[in-house]
A and B are shown apart, each in its own frame.
Chain A
Amino acid sequence: MRMADTAPLRGPDKPQGPVGLRRDAEKIGGALPPLLAEAEILAASVAMGEHGRRRAGPGENFWQYRQAVPGDPRSGVDWRRSGRSDYQFIREMEWETSQTVSLWVDHARSMDFRSENSPRTKWQRAALLALALVVLLTKAGERTSLMGTDATQPRSGTKQLNRVAMALGENPTGDRPEYGTPPSDRMVRGSRAVFFSDFLGDPEPMVPVLAHAADRGVKGCFVQVLDDIEETFPFDGRLIFESMGGGTEFETLRARSLQQEYREKLAERRARLDELARQLGWLVLHHRTGQSPRAALLWLYMATGARQL
């Protein structure tokens, strides 16, 4: 079941002569390296503790000898080891297989929000987590895909990492919606998916995409990235709230009195997301930009690597 490690370059990603090379070089020299570097540093902190699959399975690397038990194929016996004792030993290899993990990082306007005390916008945090995850997955030899961008095609290797990094580093162009919906890209059967978003928009448009994912047997997780004040709602007095694009307005005469209700509504929205995930067999991570990304990344890495998702 082992997949080829080096997928041939094809399609629009292949550098188109000197022009393509220059384009890529400029991109790397531009906004990318800091994000990639940070993602790698973050990934390194996780990879230190979690490396390899650490379980027996089809693969090239030696994992362990174990005593043969009835039912083991004779071809599996390692005669050199068995010759040294009275028992027969099976030479087991480390499980090495490559998965496809599709990521979606919501880049709607609402993700650009950052409160005064937050270190990052929600999008920056989501992109960092996604890229760090891609770094880890690439090191583990998995194939990754960033949905809705140039890097949609699942591939493995450093090149794909760079592609993802570039896609994440691109400045958004065009008219972006207030709240994001996952793109309806085709998903690889049996793959994994990770959706980064604040999930503050209407959940209805997500349903077709998720239905498609369920059809293809895709398991995954939602990562809800929220700003701190989106949880605490520390407002008071007369205020007019407006959405990031300015499309929605809401005026209140005393914001403080809305706090309880807002929190209830947010909890309700979360419960709905959790319910959706439960139905699909997905997992949900609630992450706040004020928290350390490391814990979230570790959680994500465990979640995407878990055998039973």
Chain B
Amino acid sequence: MTVGPIAFLVPWILAALVVLPVLWWLLRAIPPSPLRRVFPGVRLLLGLQEKEVMPARTPWWLLALRIGALAAAILAFAQPVLNPREETGSGPLLVLLDGGWGDAPDWSARMSHVAGALNLARQDSRPAALLQLSDSPPAEPVLEMRSAADWADRLQGLTPAPWGPDRDSWAAWFEDLDGGFETIWLTDGVSDDGEARLADALLSHGPVKVVPPAGEVRALTPPRLEEGVLRVSALQVEALPGPVSVAAIGPDPNGIERVLGRGESEFASGSNRVDISIPMPVELRNRVSRIQLETGLSAAGVVLADDAVRRRKVGLLSGQASNEAQDLTDPLNYLRKALEPFAEVVEAPLNDMLNTAPDVLILADVGSVSAQEEQDLLDWLGDGGVLIRFAGPRLARSGEGQLERDPLLPVRLRAGGRSVGGAMSWGAPRKLRPFPEDGVFAGLPIPGDVDISAQVMAQPDPDLSQRVLAALEDGTPLVTGREEGDGLVVLFHVTASADWSNLPLSGLFVQMLERLTQSAGSRSIDEGAVEGLTWTPAQVLDGFGRLQQPTLVAGVPGEDLIGRNLSAEAPPGIYASGDQRVVLNVMGADAELAPLAGLHDGVTFAAMEQEGETRLAPWLLAAAVLLLAIDVLATLMVSGRFRNVLRTGRRAAAGIAVLALLAVSAPAEAQEILEDPAPTDPEVLYAANETVLAYVLTGNDRIDRISEAGLRGLSRALFTRTAIEPADPVGVDLETSELSVLPMLYWPVTEYQPDLSDEAYVKLNDYLRYGGLILFDTMDSDLARNFNGETPNGRALQRIALKLDIPPLAPIPEDHVLTRTFYLIQDFPGRWYNTPVWAEAAHDVSEVEGLPFRNLNDGVTPVVIGGNDWASAWAEAEDGRPLFPIGRGTSGARQREMAMRFGVNLVMHVMTGNYKSDQVHVPALLDRLGQ
């Protein structure tokens, strides 16, 4: 039975819906029973009449809730199905996968489609078969049918192959096959000219449904170097416009693989091929090991870079015996330095060097070579090698190429050379003429300081002008070149060392060598070299385009590599034979992708993504249970019992709520702290505009009040007695307040002092470093005498000080500047007295002869630490009355006065620094001291 998009598998259960009205009537008839409560105040209730009456019948919404729950349950048992699949065919089912690299980008969608198809087949008990066209067809034309569940288990093990499907041979296999079946063909949409034949073959067995790929299938051709730029072509099947981007990947200097460069382009409408340039410096370009599509990756979307874009191998050979002591005269030294950034340098005897197949061979001042060597070199040149020779005394002396043309030299040379600009010669050293536009050096800038003072000369042969790659101002050839076979012979008419010219010292030298090196053609897939050898895979690509270690290490004949016969035996990847390596990519340089064509009209098409059918029964059952749960709560609420349930859970709920609040508020608080105090903060403005004494808010109200009263008293004393006229003191919260504007901080330390945040410590340390002073007061020196200093407040102070940047401390000595900044005092009493007060220890304890004063504490001590409870001694009420009793009678008043004097001295010390320790004042002070 089907209603709209929903079908019921067990429709007869729907008949139970007729009981709903009966249930309605029943539920309405039976009210909930009342609850009995013991309550002593019942006497007071007697005679009361309630104004509103609880409905004796169940409220309608509760009824609806219950009926809804029951209806949901009934519907659930009727097994509704959303979007049921239409009936499919009967008989055996063949699921055909192309299974090549083209399947890789949307492999998971394919697998779920296949799983859906197999699941349906399982429900209909249809036998099924699953084939992957990228495999080779079996020898026997027998299609093995199994239960669909069997196949479903195997789906996890399937992977796309890194090559394409072989539709033609499969078509032949299907043509030989007997029996009828329905076919679902999941194709990658890439034509291999066998699809039409395959479709016909399949149609002869039964209906065929073709599922084209959901997305675009793309591929890359091998990279190539064009005008020094790395370039690849991106291919696509459907000629749709769209952006495409590639990434060049390779090891960085640390050997870690990373993206070295990116290229982007856009497919033009109607075109299925686009060139993408990947601009990158030579050094990076030489490192690129592969280039891949950034989206829709498959084996064909990855191209392994071969030597065409990789570092050139350069062989160096010098006619001069290497002499380590004379590096600067060794021509190879200059070449090495110039080549190493972009080329692989090989130094070996000539024979060994030729065996390593270098792209470029540089002979620096090598005179003559043996006939055999010459022949080898000529063979190598014929294969496209680039031979670069540098002149020098040996070459000039050997007479090579002077009488007849030497095949290893581009031009004939004249005997001897020429020297210009020397002590015994005419003229000045020669400069370079701009390079010819069509030459290999075209466009290279010529630095003005390159001078040529000696060179070998070319014979003025008729074809000399064609061979000049670079010339001097006077037209004398400096670099000449000649093609020899596929290769090139180049001669620098100067030395590779700085003997004849300073060219090797210039950047131009490096650029010229780079141009010449890059002009050496790719010698990688030299068919002749590959053929006849057996290559073993070093790294292979899987269907998804990932490089992996090969599981199959059987050798592959070179012919297969040249012929691009990709198969399980020869997957794409990197192959090695000896020390030679070749690369086998999925796509050739001139490959094209084309869509499927010529399919028979009888095939039907289906989309990859299919709306799966959904069983609604679990959801409906869950809804029924949920409704019943709501019903329980609602019933409790209606009958007044909900409150009890709530009450028991209230405490826990309150706890959770408090925690949640904390969690919410804590970050907000942190946020506030992190915000910079705005410069317009009135507190900061006040502290900056006025001279204020500040105290640290401890969180203990009493202590904070005492601190404030104490500093107020001290401020008044300063105002009346000294030039310092402080305003009312301020309390600072170390976590939030701005400290930099405060001259000093009074910090009463109690054992309840909370730990500060790291930011606060940073702030405090800055404050101490840049001239602030903190007066720590443990307020317990009356106890400290008995506790040997180990008071709880003292421990709290130690805890704080641990993270503060406090210099070494010492008890304030008698001659400390604090004892005479304003008053002459010897003691620092507060409410208590006779305990040592600590300040920064003297840096230099050497006593100046004959003077009682030492030049102490060039700056202000950053901390003063004591326990004399100074604030209590300073504390004054608003009317100037002292707040705390000190000592007894007149001696107490004296002590209070001394405490005040200490305060005055301390603030003076903060404000004036070591002014009073200046020697100028010594006589006056001595006089007053009565000495």
Task: Give chain A's interface residues, CB within 8 Å of chain B.
Answer: 110, 113, 116-117, 179, 198, 200-202, 227, 229-230, 233-244, 248-258, 261-262, 265-266, 269
Given contacts A116-B647, A251-B34, A255-B640, contact A241 B50 (CB under 8 A): no
Chain B at the A interface: SS class: loop
Tell whether B769 is near chain A: CB-to-CB under 8 Å.
no
Looking at B38-46, B100-108, B284-292, the stretch in contact with chain A turns out to be B38-46
Report the bound CA distance from A234 to B40 in whole Å: 14
B residues 628-663 near A (Cβ < 8 Å) are 638-641, 643-644, 647
Tell whether B35 is near chain A: CB-to-CB under 8 Å.
yes
Cβ-defined partner of B39 (8 Å) among A202, A242, A254, A269: A242
B48 to chain A, nearest CB (A): 5
A87 to chain B, nearest CB (A): 27
Residues of B within 8 A of A269 (CB): 44
Residues of A within 8 A of B647 (CB): 116-117
Do A265 and B42 touch across chains, with their CB atoms under 8 A apart? no
Do A249 and B48 touch across chains, with their CB atoms under 8 A apart? no
B889 to chain A, nearest CB (A): 24
Write 24 A-B pairs (CB below 8 A) sorted by A numbering.
A110-B40, A113-B40, A116-B647, A200-B40, A202-B43, A235-B37, A237-B34, A238-B33, A238-B34, A238-B35, A238-B639, A239-B34, A239-B640, A242-B42, A243-B40, A244-B40, A248-B43, A250-B46, A252-B50, A253-B53, A255-B640, A258-B45, A262-B41, A262-B45
Cβ-defined partner of A240 (8 Å) among B35, B53, B54: B35
Do B40 and A254 touch across chains, with their CB atoms under 8 A apart? no
Q: How many residues of B contact A (CB 8 A)?
A: 29
Given contacts A235-B37, A237-B54, A262-B48, contact A249 B42 (CB under 8 A): yes
Q: Could you list 8 further interchain pairs (A-B, Cβ under 8 angstroms) beyond the known A200-B41, A230-B40, A243-B38?
A: A113-B39, A233-B41, A235-B640, A237-B640, A241-B38, A250-B46, A253-B50, A262-B44
B792 to chain A, nearest CB (A): 27
Given contacts A235-B640, A266-B41, contact A253 B54 (CB under 8 A): yes
Report the bound CA distance from A248 to B639 in whole Å: 22
Please name the residue on chain B nearest to A234 by beta carbon. Answer: B643
Residues of B within 8 A of A257 (CB): 50-52
Cβ-defined partner of B50 (8 Å) among A227, A234, A254: A254
B46 to chain A, nearest CB (A): 6
Residues of B within 8 A of A113 (CB): 38-40
Please name the residue on chain A nearest to B34 by beta carbon. Answer: A238
Residues of A within 8 A of B32 (CB): 238
Task: Give chain B's interface residues, CB within 8 Å of chain A.
Answer: 32-46, 48, 50-54, 56, 638-641, 643-644, 647
Report the bound CA distance from A261 to B49 in whole Å: 9
Do A244 and B38 touch across chains, with their CB atoms under 8 A apart? yes
Do B54 and A243 touch across chains, with their CB atoms under 8 A apart? no
A224 to chain B, nearest CB (A): 12
A133 to chain B, nearest CB (A): 24
Do B53 and A236 touch across chains, with their CB atoms under 8 A apart? no
Residues of A within 8 A of B52 (CB): 254, 257
Report the bound CA distance from A250 to B41 in whole Å: 11
Please name the residue on chain B nearest to A236 by beta carbon. Answer: B640
Residues of B within 8 A of A235 (CB): 37, 39, 640
Please name the residue on chain B nearest to A202 by beta carbon. Answer: B43
Residues of A within 8 A of B42 (CB): 241-243, 248-250
Given contacts A116-B647, A117-B647, A255-B640, contact A241 B53 (CB under 8 A): no
Report the bound CA distance from A252 to B45 in whole Å: 10
Cβ-defined partner of B37 (8 Å) among A110, A227, A242, A261: A242
Do A240 and B41 touch across chains, with their CB atoms under 8 A apart? no
Report the bound CA distance from A233 to B48 in whole Å: 14
Given contacts A200-B44, A234-B643, contact A240 B638 (CB under 8 A): no
The 9 residue pairs across chains A and B that have the minimum distance between CB atoms:
A237-B640, A236-B640, A238-B34, A110-B40, A254-B54, A257-B50, A253-B54, A241-B39, A241-B42
Do B41 and A237 touch across chains, with their CB atoms under 8 A apart? no
Please name the residue on chain B nearest to A249 by beta carbon. Answer: B42
Do A266 and B44 touch across chains, with their CB atoms under 8 A apart? yes
B600 to chain A, nearest CB (A): 77
Do A258 and B50 touch across chains, with their CB atoms under 8 A apart? yes
B650 to chain A, nearest CB (A): 10
Do B48 and A239 touch across chains, with their CB atoms under 8 A apart? no
Residues of B within 8 A of A234 (CB): 643
Given contacts A253-B53, A265-B48, contact A239 B40 (CB under 8 A): no
Report the bound CA distance from A282 to B832 in whole Å: 55
Cβ-defined partner of B40 (8 Å) among A198, A253, A255, A265: A198
Residues of B within 8 A of A200 (CB): 40-41, 43-44
Residues of A within 8 A of B46 (CB): 248, 250
A127 to chain B, nearest CB (A): 17
Residues of B within 8 A of A250 (CB): 42, 45-46
Task: Name the residue among B41, B50, B640, B641 with the largest chain A CB count within 10 angstroms.
Answer: B41
Residues of A within 8 A of B644 (CB): 116
Please name the residue on chain A nearest to B648 by beta carbon. Answer: A116
Residues of A within 8 A of B53 (CB): 253-254
Report the bound CA distance from A258 to B647 in whole Å: 21
Please name the residue on chain A nearest to B31 by beta carbon. Answer: A238
Do A201 and B43 touch across chains, with their CB atoms under 8 A apart? yes
Please name the residue on chain B nearest to A116 by beta carbon. Answer: B647
Please name the residue on chain B nearest to A122 by beta carbon. Answer: B40
B630 to chain A, nearest CB (A): 18
Report the bound CA distance from A99 to B36 in whole Å: 47
Residues of B within 8 A of A198 (CB): 40
Report the bound CA distance from A256 to B44 in whole Å: 15
Residues of B within 8 A of A201 (CB): 43
Given contacts A116-B647, A248-B46, contact A256 B640 (CB under 8 A): yes
Residues of B within 8 A of A239 (CB): 34-37, 640
Please name the residue on chain A nearest to B41 by beta carbon. Answer: A230
Report the bound CA distance from A239 to B48 in whole Å: 14
Report the bound CA distance from A262 to B46 in whole Å: 10
B908 to chain A, nearest CB (A): 50
Residues of B within 8 A of A262 (CB): 41, 44-45, 48
Do A242 and B35 touch across chains, with their CB atoms under 8 A apart? no
B648 to chain A, nearest CB (A): 8
Residues of A within 8 A of B41 (CB): 200, 230, 233, 262, 266
Do B40 and A238 touch across chains, with their CB atoms under 8 A apart? no
Please name the residue on chain B nearest to A268 by beta carbon. Answer: B44
Report the bound CA distance from A239 to B42 in whole Å: 12
Report the bound CA distance from A235 to B52 in whole Å: 14
Residues of B within 8 A of A237 (CB): 34-35, 54, 638-641
Report the bound CA distance from A68 to B386 in whole Å: 137
Given contacts A253-B54, A258-B50, contact A240 B43 (CB under 8 A): no
Report the bound CA distance from A266 to B54 in whole Å: 24
Residues of B within 8 A of A236 (CB): 640, 643
Report the bound CA distance from A96 to B569 in whole Å: 119
Report the bound CA distance from A249 to B711 in whole Å: 71
Report the bound CA distance from A113 to B45 in whole Å: 17
B851 to chain A, nearest CB (A): 62
Report the bound CA distance from A250 to B640 in whole Å: 16
A175 to chain B, nearest CB (A): 17
Residues of A within 8 A of B39 (CB): 113, 229-230, 235, 241-243
A70 to chain B, nearest CB (A): 38
Report the bound CA distance from A30 to B52 in whole Å: 51
Please name the residue on chain A nearest to B639 by beta carbon. Answer: A237
Report the bound CA distance from A240 to B35 in whole Å: 6
Cβ-defined partner of B56 (8 Å) among A240, A253, A266: A253
Residues of B within 8 A of A258 (CB): 45, 48, 50
